[in-house]
Amino acid sequence: MEQIKITFPDGKVKEYPKGVTPFEIAKSVSEGLAREVITAKVNGKTVETVTPINSDASIQLYTWESEEGKQVFWHSSAHILAQTLEFFYPGIKLTIGPAIENGFYYDVDLGEKNISESDFKKIEEKFLEFARQKAEFKIKSVSKSDALNLYNEQQNEFKIELIENLTDGEITFCDHSNFTDLCRGGHLPNTGFVKAVKITNVAGAYWRGNEKNKQLTRVYGISFPKQKMLEEYLLLLEEAKKRDHRKLGKELELFTFSQKVGQGLPLWLPKGAALRERLENFMRNAQKKAGYVSVVTPHIGSKELYVTSGHYEKYGADSFQPIHTPDENEEFLLKPMNCPHHCEIFNSSPKSYKDLPLRLAEFGTVYRYEQSGELHGLTRVRGFTQDDAHIFCRNDQVEDEFKKVIDLVLYVFSALGFNDYTAQISLRDKENREKYIGTDENWEKAEQAIINAAHDKGLKTEVEFGEAAFYGPKLDFMVKDALGRKWQLGTIQVDYNLPERFNLEYTGSDNQKHRPVMIHRAPFGSMERFVAVLIEHCGGNFPLWLSNEQAVLLPISEKFNEKAQELLNLLNNYDIRGLVDNRNEKIGKKIRDAELKKVPYMLIVGEKEAETNTLAVRKHGKGDMGVLTVEEFATMIKKEIKEHTN
RNA sequence: GCCGAUGUAGCUCAGUGGUAGAGCACUUCCUUGGUAAGGAAGAGGUCACGGGUUCAAGUCCCGUCAUUGGCUCCA
């Protein structure tokens, strides 16, 4: 029999008979791999494990453990979901069912029917029943006309639209059991691989994501090859729920909302404000060291300011509407951005090249009219404060300044325990130029500067085309929190446009006028969003240096209240924040309450401690740490605070 | 903005058409204690708001507002 050469990812080459399948190749490696192999890439193309290989090829085998494996697993699960939905709701129109980051969904047109959460259980049960049939996924080619005929019969205008955009000869259907769906392929060997499923959500979604199109019903689910994995996933969801910043924000009395004030307008309570102030001071110090100067600008600006900046043209209709003055025909806008104000500060006096880079920083509060459906806790609000700064520099300084900003962002992340992050570089969509302001030449320069800086700093990067702001490309930091969820925090953006619009100039060493470049940057992003992410990351257990109460003193009985206050005064002299819990409660109750409030240290003062000026130290979540003198304790936690470790 | 769900005491929630409930928190009293809830009593609600059906509505219907899960959007 004819032999072909198969190249493995590690570069090894082995010979197999022509027509060998990825499954057989896996089997030749090990039985275990054969059992677990889900999908394969042959010459970089995703195929079923039963697809014969007829010529020399490179191969990559994937199990559940890989991203590729999960995607195929979930995509296949979407087929089973569609089969299940069709079973319960005959006559529905299937549309698309992709795998997503955590699971999959299927969009269907239910017509008059609807699905509610009470239906999830029966869907899950039937789904698993179908899965247990171990039906093979079979890919078959169909001609365009046959495909169109099938969906014409079913009057499924969605599939017809999809097929019309496909090339005849490249159209495939996937069958399993007696269920057929239009599909380009990449499936599990059979449905039996799916051992556990959870329907997670049902929601409306527009056909092709366009709000002018018909709204479909989207059913979300997640599936696993083992029941235990589902249980672990559900536990993770539970944990995420416990850490939800909206819940903890309420419990720890950090912030609140009021209908009377307005939706999306957070009210910071004393404890939240204290936390936020500490973060701001931390940033102010870091910025001072990095050569920034502070400025302050008002919350409103004349409409002309934003006409000049271009924001009015771009967002005016979707913003809070202008404020009118009573006498004159003047219009002001709540500021949606700080940069136009900062441009005018730059313009307030002539600048020399010796003045650059000029780094203007402000905790500037801005207001944006976000759609009501998008508001969410502190992460998406209508009024928020950016830790904003604008760097005005020469062209030849851009890359260097960009790198300095990256250093600052990384310093901030490390101080707050965010150690897992990637940099997302957002470039323009070159096909869609009318979306952007500015010349091609400037965009080119800006994009290159970002890529170079990120590369030089050794950042893990992902490039996204079409995600740039309308005025320039940007680099966003995506951090992973303690539960592995991704959040967008700090942002750095190069801007060649505002300097032109505001006619910013400096005098160069050649005594000629030059245009500076602007860099917008916000390491936290916004205080609101950052605090929300921080709460969820640490589950409300803030790093010691940020905690409102670093220690609470717990007198054993009211007899020791005075002594506890005396010891607290000593700790205050070391700049340690704390309180005395002088309520008429037993020690067990006081400890319980302090634990629930997530106070880092509990210091118990009873007869023994009172006599010797000592503290019985108990650490949050850890328990008894023994007895220390006030000085020993103060030294220990001062060290912890200084190191910015927990 | 669109589709769905939800809205009862400060918080978490129960209450399927017949006079508003529990636990925690709060107030007062008793208790003075050694590492996650000591005991008793009390106070606290136009059941989101506005209409409707009914002898009777927290409960059923309609509308509004807010919250929430998605979609769309995100300077």
Can A520 be counted among the known catalytic residues? yes
Contact A528, A393 (CB under 8 A): no
Answer whether A580's CB lies under 8 Å from A589's CB: no
* List of long-range contacts for A160-164, beta carbons under 8 Å, 24+ apart: A162/A95, A162/A96
User: Residue A389 pairs with which residues in a beta bridge?
Assistant: A361, A521
In angstroms, rounded to a whole number, what is the distance separating the alpha carbons of residues A554 and A551? Answer: 10
Whether A368 is a known active-site residue: answer yes
Mean pLDDT (whole number) for A379-391: 96
A383 touches strand B (CB under 7 A): no
Q: What is the pLDDT of residue A449?
A: 87
In angstroms, the CA of A116 and the C1' of B52 are apart by 27
| Active site annotation includes A388 | yes
Q: Is the CB of A90 under 7 A from strand B?
A: no
Percent of chain A whose predicted confidence (pLDDT) is above 70: 100
d(Cα A395, Cα A140) in Å, to the nearest integer? 57
What pLDDT digit, counting tens, does each position of A78-106 carry? 999 999 999 988 888 999 999 998 899 99
Through-space separation of residue A591 CA and nucleotide B67 C1' in angstroms: 34
Q: Flag whether pLDDT at A546 surpasses 90.
A: yes
Alpha carbons A632 and A646: distance in angstroms, whole number: 18
- Residue A201 to residue A221: CA distance in whole angstroms: 7
Least reliable range by pLDDT among A202-211, A245-254, A430-439, A624-633: A430-439
What is the average per-residue pLDDT within A273-299? 96
Q: Is nucleic acid strand B under 7 Å from A584's C-beta? A: yes
Distance A124 CA to B37 C1' (A): 40
**Is A213 (CB) below 7 Å from strand B?**
no
Query: What whole-number distance in Å separates Cα of residue A6 and Cα of residue A20?
Result: 10
- Strand B proximal residues, A:246-285, Cβ < 7 Å: 246-247, 250, 257, 259, 263-264
Please state the rounded mean pLDDT for residues A416-430: 90
Q: Maximum Cα–Cα distance for chain A, whole Å?
A: 94
**Cβ of A205 < 7 Å from strand B?**
yes
pLDDT, averaged across chain A? 91
Q: Is the CB of A626 under 7 A from strand B?
A: no
Exactly one of A341, A368, A521, A620 is catalytic; which is it?
A: A368
In sequence order, the 6+-apart residues with CB closer than 8 A to the CB of A287 are A359, A361, A389, A408
Q: How far apart are CA A445 and CA A558, in angstroms?
A: 70
The rounded distance, in Å, linking the Cα atoms of A570 and A236 is 42
pLDDT tens readout for residues A109-154: 987 777 877 788 889 999 999 999 999 898 888 899 999 999 998 8
Nucleotide nearest A115, from its CA to each C1': B4
Rg of chain A (C-alpha set) = 30
Cβ atoms < 10 Å from Cβ of A146: 11
pLDDT of residue A384: 96
pLDDT tens readout for residues A577-617: 999 999 999 999 999 999 999 999 999 999 999 999 999 99
**In the complex, which nucleotide's C1' lies nearest to the CA atom of residue A374?**
B73
Distance CA A177, CA A137 (A): 8
The whole-number pLDDT of residue A168 equals: 86
A183 is catalytic: no
- Write down the catalytic residue from A71, A83, A287, A386: A386
Strand A601-605 with A614-619, pairing: antiparallel
Q: What are phi and psi of A313, to 5 degrees?
A: -60, -40
- CA A539 to C1' B12, in angstroms, rounded, equals 19
Q: Which two tokens stand for residue A237?
A: 């969801």
Give the CA-to-C1' distance from A467 to B49 in angstroms. 42
Predicted structure pTM score: 0.91
Q: Which helix (H) or strand (E) holds A16?
A: strand A13-17
What are the structure tokens assigned to A395, written together?
A: 């062209």
CA of A371 to C1' of B48 (A): 22
B69 C1' – A459 CA distance, angstroms?
34
The residue annotated as part of the active site, out of A311, A474, A537, A618, is A474
**pLDDT given at position A646:** 45
Query: In the predicted model, what is the mean pLDDT of residues A481-503?
Result: 89
CB of A461 nearer than 7 A to strand B: no
Shortest-distance nucleotide from A366 CA to C1': B75
Between the CA of A204 and the C1' of B2, what is the distance in angstroms? 8
Peptide bond before residue A340 is cis, with ω within 30 degrees of 0: no
The full length of chain A comes to: 646
Helix (H, G, I), strand (E, B) or coil at A593: helix
**Alpha carbon separation from A74 to A124, A187, A203 (Å, rounded):** 15, 9, 19
DSSP H or E stretch at residue A578? strand A578-580
* Two structure tokens written together for A96: 């698309």
What ipTM was predicted for this assembly?
0.93
Cβ atoms of A296 and A290 closer than 8 Å: no
Is residue A102 exposed (0-12), middle (13-18) or buried (19+ Cβ within 10 Å)?
middle
- Chain B nucleotides close to protein (CB under 7 A) are 1-5, 11-12, 30-38, 65-75
> Please, which pLDDT band fits residue A525 given cuts at 50, 70 and 90?
very high
How many angstroms separate the CA atoms of A71 and A100, rounded?
7
User: What pLDDT is stored for residue A209 in this prediction?
Assistant: 85
Q: Is the pLDDT of residue A201 over 90?
A: no
DSSP bridge partners of A140: A173
